[in-house]
Each structure stands twice: as C-alpha cells, then as structure tokens.
Chain A
Amino acid sequence: MFEGPLQRLIDELARLPGVGRKSAQRMAFHLLGVEREDALRLSSAIVDMRDQLRICSRCYNVTASEECTICRDSKRDQTVVCVVERAQDIAVIERTQEFRGRYHVLGGAISPIGGIGPSQLRIAELGKRIEDEGIMELILATNPTVEGDVTAMYIAREMKPRGVRVTRLAMGLPVGGDLDYADELTLGRALAGRSEL
C-alpha cells in the first residue's frame, strides 16, 4: 500500500503482539518524522538486546551475563524457588518485594493442543536443581488457567517424592476493597478456596 521501506516497517511492526495494522501505521508514520539519531537509538536498542541478552544458566531468566542478577544475589534465600511460566512473570512477583528466594522459568505450560508436553518445558532441569542446590520449597506460580493448573499438578507429582515442600499461589480477593466490590467469580473462587483460621 505504501512505498517499499515504509510498508516493510509497517509489516514488521504489525507482527508484534498487541499491535494491529492501524497502530503499526501510526507508529511507522511517527518514526518517519523523528531525527535520524532517535531512529538509530531505537534500532540499536533492539539489536543490542538481541545480541547481548541471553538466558540465565540457572533459572532461565533473561540476563546479560552467565547468571541473572537474582541468582547471583547471595542475600537471597537459596532454599526457596518460585516456579513461573515465563520470564516476564518474575518482574511481577519481584514488584511485590515479598519474595526473597530464587526463580525457575519453565518456558510455558503443558498444553496438548499447543503441542507442549512436560518434556518441552524445563521440568527435568528443575529436578536437577533440587538435587544440586538443596532446595526445600517450590512455590508454583503458574497461571490460574487449566494449563497452568495441570503444569503445577504435574510438577508437584514429580517433585514431592524428592522431599521438597510444594505449594501453589492462593487465589482470592483483591486486597483493600470491600466485599461488595468483588466480582461474583472471584468471590466464588475465594469461597471455594477458603482457609481455616
């Protein structure tokens, strides 16, 4: 629809998640108007990230060195590991400032429809870490979806016999709000998963 290079950029941008044709067009026309330096800064940021980042050899987080900053931090509790589906989930849990252990990134969740079985995930690697690192507890923070649940159940089944404590994140009410603001589904789930006082 547009001259070669412009259309090429639009096509590339439109391949990004959450970006449709219209947004891609808007971004491309915006970039058309910026200084050459600004354009270079963006393009080199993309290339640098691609070239310099790699996967942490211990937890499979994204890192610029052999091991990620979390794994290298000796003040963190090495006996507790929080298991997540994707590296971006780590940032969410880190923001709570409540977790002082380390992580393990599975690389997804079990989904036969998507052709993903346990062997496509880093579950064997997790088992090896339990043996090598003296891990005492696994906190399973996979998504509260059918696939996330099944992945958590599978890991619990595999890892419990190795003598670790396995827990799953609780599901329930948003904090600080009144009960009557909670939607029925969340409240229903919270009822089903109620705990003893």
Chain B
Amino acid sequence: MRLAWLHLHSFRSYPALEWRPDPGVNILVGRNGAGKTNVLEAIGFLANLRSFRGAPEETLIAHNAETAVLRGEESDAQALVEVEITRKGGRRTRIGQKSIGRTSDLRSALRTVAFLPDDLDLVKGSPAGRRELLDDVATQIWPGAALDQAEFDRTLRQRNAFLKQGDRDPATLEVWDTRLAQAAAKVMGRRARAAAALEETLVESYGRIAGEETSVRFAYQSDWGGTLDPTTPASEWAKSLTGALRERRRLDFELRTTGSGPHRDDPAISLGGQGSRHQASQGEQRTLALALRLATHRAVSLQTDRLPLLLLDDVYSELDPDRSKALTDALPEAQTFVSTTRLDEVPVPGRAWQVSEGDIR
C-alpha cells in the first residue's frame, strides 16, 4: 500500500495542500503547532474515517471554512479516496466514482497503523484503550467487524434506554437481552481472534525492541466469562452472556445500566507470566506499547497480505537511544510517515520535509 498523493482543502491548518510523499520513509519536520500531526491525522482519516486523536469531525474543518475535503490516491490498487466533512455533520465518502456509506468499505482501500505519543496508556491505562485496539485490529482484518461493533453499540444504547425508562416489563427486557447477547457474541468473537492474531506477532515484536526473549500473552477476558477462547462458537458466548445478563437483572434495573458485556471486558497482556498493567516496570511497559503497534502492523499484513501505512507521531522524542534504535531496526518496509520537531532525533533514513505555514516542502 502506498499513498501516491494527498490533497487537503480547509483541513485544520491547511487551506490548500497538494503533496506527493515519497514511497518510502517521509520525515515531517517542523516546530510545535506547525501542522505535522495534522498531516498524519489526515492520512489516518482517509483510512479509518475518524481522527486518531479522537477529535470530533467538525474540529477538523479550518476555522473560516464550511467544509473540509481530503483526497488521496493509493497507488497499488489505484484507488482514489475522497472524503468531504461538513459542519452540519454530513460526510461524503467516495472511492473512485463510487460513493460509500459504510466505513468498512473504505478500510480495504487504505489501512494505517499509528504510533501515538499516548500509547503507554494502552498498557498502563484502563481496559477501554485495549478494547479499542482489538476492535481496530478486527476492523482492519475483517470488513464486517465495524458493522458488528456498530450493531452492538446501538443495541447496548437501546437496552440502557429501556433500563432508564423504569419500565420493568420482563418480556421486553428478555428480547433485548437475547439481541444484545447475539451482537455481543460477534464482537467478542472478533476481539478474541484479534487478540490471538496479535499474540502470535507480539512475542517477536516485543523481543525485537527488548532485545531478549520474553513470553507475552494477550488474553481476552471478561469478568463474567473468564478468559475467552477464540475457538468457542459465537452461540456459546451468546448463551453464557444471556445467563450473565439474567443474573444481574435486578442490579441492572437498579443502576439503570448494563453491567456485563463486551463494553466491560478487560483484555489483559502479561509479560513473563505477570500482568503488564500493574506489575511490569516502566521500561517494560514502554517497550510493550511499541511492540503492540508493531505487532498490529505485522498481524494485519499477515492476514490481509497488504502492508498498512505506518504513522509515527512524535514517537522518538520519548525514547531512550536503545529503544529508539531497536524500533528503527524493527520497522517494516511499509510507506512511513514520521513527525518530529528535530530531524536529528529520528534515526530512520528517509526523505525530510519542512512543514510550516500550511505547506510541506
């Protein structure tokens, strides 16, 4: 996968940008606030239709404009991707001449794996970040995963709305439970398989950054069902979640929210048999965060047979020289975009670009 060119109109700090990146490594150099991350964010948006910074869509539009337009061409499949974002919340997405309504149709045209400054949270932070990582891996590998996630979210919101009504009609709750369990089982199944795919590549990725062999396990766990085996059929999970929902029914009515399900699950990573969130050292956690992104890239390339683009947002400034070198050696042969304030901080050979005043030169 290669991004042949990128056009931005009224996207954040870019009134009009036309840029042809190098097919190899691109290093975007500029002072803070020059707009380096905005470029990486734009590339990520073309691939995932959302900001990797979690920014709401309307904030991506330049202050003086009503709409932002992002365009890019992936050169292997010669796919032209075009996204238009409007302030009213309408978004138009097209691949070639075909307009598409679903994010999942877009993923196959362009894929990205982003290393972000806050990645340590994947290891140290709450389970939400790890759930999101697994969902992201799942959507990159399986086109149907995004729809499953949307369906689960919608069902969960409906069930919670029902609990908030205070109407305790058991027949209605029963059907919501059944439907929620069906949707949940699909999400859990994909997450468990994504965790298994990641675990396979994680040992090697971790070893390459750490410089030593360590056993790494990525287990998808829930507080009601224990560790979930990826080979368990979805109907089994639906059944056990239905049971868990029934047991908690009284509590759910009281708290007016759904207490068990994939939205509460805790995917856990262990290093050498110990939990990484609380028991690993700061250094191990940092290594693991890098390894998770590398492993994601490897897993997605293995499963899809295409190399996703790499986005490295100001990652090197946080790393000591050893990890910095180890990461550089471990980076795959994909088209890469690195942002930095200081060129000498980046040990990767590549084409350097100056970013300032809404332009890249």
Contacts and interface: CB of A to CB of B under 8 A. Distances in A.
Interface of A: 110-113, 115, 117-118, 146-147, 149-150, 153-154, 157-158, 183-185, 188-189
Contact of A183 (B105, B162, B179): B105
A95 B157 CA distance: 35
Nearest to B145: A188
Nearest to A119: B169
Given A146-B155, A146-B183, A157 B144 contact: no
Contact of A112 (B144, B158, B174): B158
A158 B172 CA distance: 10
Contacts of A118: 169, 171-172
Contact of B143 (A115, A147, A157, A185): A185
A146 B167 contact: no
30 contacts: A112-B158, A112-B164, A113-B158, A113-B161, A117-B165, A117-B167, A117-B169, A117-B172, A118-B172, A146-B151, A146-B154, A146-B155, A146-B183, A147-B158, A149-B179, A150-B158, A150-B175, A153-B179, A154-B171, A154-B172, A154-B175, A157-B171, A157-B174, A158-B171, A183-B105, A184-B104, A184-B143, A185-B102, A188-B143, A188-B144
Q: Is the interface of A mostly helix, strand, loop or mixed?
A: helix
Contacts of B324: none
Nearest to B159: A112
Nearest to B163: A112
Interface in B165-207: 165, 167, 169, 171-172, 174-176, 178-179, 183
A106 to B, nearest CB: 14
B143 A150 contact: no
A20 B169 CA distance: 40
A185 B147 contact: yes
B157 A113 contact: yes
Nearest to A110: B172
Contacts, number: 56
B223 to A, nearest CB: 25
Contacts of B162: 112
B170 to A, nearest CB: 11
A184 B154 CA distance: 21
A111 B167 contact: no
A111 B176 CA distance: 10
A111 B171 CA distance: 14
Interface residues of B, number: 26
Given A118-B171, A157-B174, 8 more contacts: A112-B158, A115-B165, A146-B155, A153-B178, A183-B105, A184-B104, A185-B102, A185-B147
Contacts of A184: 104-105, 143-144
B163 to A, nearest CB: 8
A10 to B, nearest CB: 19
Contacts of A154: 171-172, 175
Contacts of A147: 158
A80 to B, nearest CB: 23
Contacts of B161: 112-113
Contacts of B155: 146, 150
Interface in B73-106: 102, 104-105
Contacts of B176: 150
A45 to B, nearest CB: 32
Given A154-B171, A183-B105, A185-B104, A146 B158 contact: yes
Given A110-B172, A112-B165, A117-B169, A146 B179 contact: yes
B148 to A, nearest CB: 9
A176 to B, nearest CB: 20
Nearest to B102: A185
Contacts of A113: 157-158, 161
B174 to A, nearest CB: 7
A110 B172 CA distance: 9
B252 to A, nearest CB: 13
Contacts of B169: 117-118
Contacts of B144: 184-185, 188-189
A158 B169 CA distance: 13
A112 to B, nearest CB: 4
Contacts of A111: 158
Given A117-B172, A157-B174, A150 B167 contact: no
Contacts of B179: 146, 149-150, 153
Nearest to A154: B175
A33 to B, nearest CB: 30
A188 B151 CA distance: 15
B188 to A, nearest CB: 15
A145 B180 CA distance: 13
B285 to A, nearest CB: 37
